[in-house]
Amino acid sequence: MQSWNRFVRSGKTSGEYWLTVSDLMAALMVIFLFIAIAFMMRVQKVVVAWQETETDIIRQLSQQFERNLEDWNAEFDRERLTIRFNDPETLFEQGKSALKPAFKGILDQFCPKYFAILDNYIGDLDEVRIEGHTSPEWNEDTSSTDAFFNNMRLSQSRTRAVMEYCFRQDESRQYGWLHSLTRSVGMSSAQLQENDEGQVDYERSRRVEFRIKTKAEERIASILRGWQ
């Protein structure tokens, strides 16, 4: 109160006082702006590094497998870093999880080269997912919920069979990171494929996918936690 009285007696007007507060607020805004710029630069650095890593992974996978994809009835989804095996007639017997000989032959060619490429990026990988997908079909008298969970068990059993087959190959045993980074995930009919008319494509929905997840999200989340 005494300080305020002295301020008033000094002849300062209220307008001059609020100008001083405005200057203070402007200075704080400039400080916050510099902090925000520094934060965005850190995020941008992570994003650029992530994009470069993913681009390099895409390049190597494309060079290695583009000649085989058509023969395998497979495709490379570059946006999701996913190699998708689409032919259900090649993969498994209907309703069973045992790999067909033709699919074993494909995995004999695919897995060693696939793991060899990923071995160069271990520090950048969050996980390697082997996903099993099904169509929503089951027996006619089965409810949609029961069909979903029946297919969940089937897809999990199938992807586990794929994972075990790949792991037991002699060439794969040299990669100690397989056990810690690779996951087998049964997706049931949660991610159905559609045809050009927007209808469910039952054949393409029954598939196996090898998907790569990098640590980009984890690193950006770490920066965000530091910002908070």
The pLDDT profile of the chain, 228 residues, written as one tens digit per residue, is 555 454 444 445 544 555 576 777 777 787 777 766 666 666 566 565 667 888 899 999 999 999 999 999 999 999 999 999 998 889 999 889 999 999 999 999 999 999 999 999 998 899 999 999 999 989 888 999 999 999 999 999 999 999 999 999 988 989 999 999 999 999 999 999 998 888 999 999 999 999 999 887 665 555 555 555
Give the CA distances from residue 163 to residues 42, 169, 183, 204, in Å, rounded to whole numbers and listed in that order. Answer: 37, 10, 8, 21
Phi-psi region of 142 (alpha: psi -120 to 50; beta: other; left: phi over 0): beta
**Both structure tokens of 166:** 């790949």
Q: Please name the helix (run of DSSP H) or strand (run of DSSP E) that holds residue 181, with its range, or none.
A: helix 178-181
Beta-carbon count within 10 A of 129 CB: 20
For strand 74-77 and strand 182-188, is the pairing parallel, antiparallel, or unpaired?
unpaired
Phi-psi region of 93 (alpha: psi -120 to 50; beta: other; left: phi over 0): beta
Report the pLDDT value the prediction gives residue 35, as an integer from 0 to 100.
Answer: 67
What is the Cα–Cα distance from 159 to 206, expressed in whole angstroms?
12
- The one-letter amino acid code at 37 reads I
The domain covering 53-221 belongs, at the CATH homologous superfamily level, to OmpA-like domain (3.30.1330.60)
What is the Cα–Cα distance from 87 to 72, expressed in whole angstroms?
8
**Cβ within 8 Å of residue 21, ≥6 positions away:** none
- Paired strand residues for 207: 133
Tell the residue number behind the tokens 């916050």, with chain if given: 32
Q: Please give the DSSP secondary-structure letter assigned to residue 100.
A: P
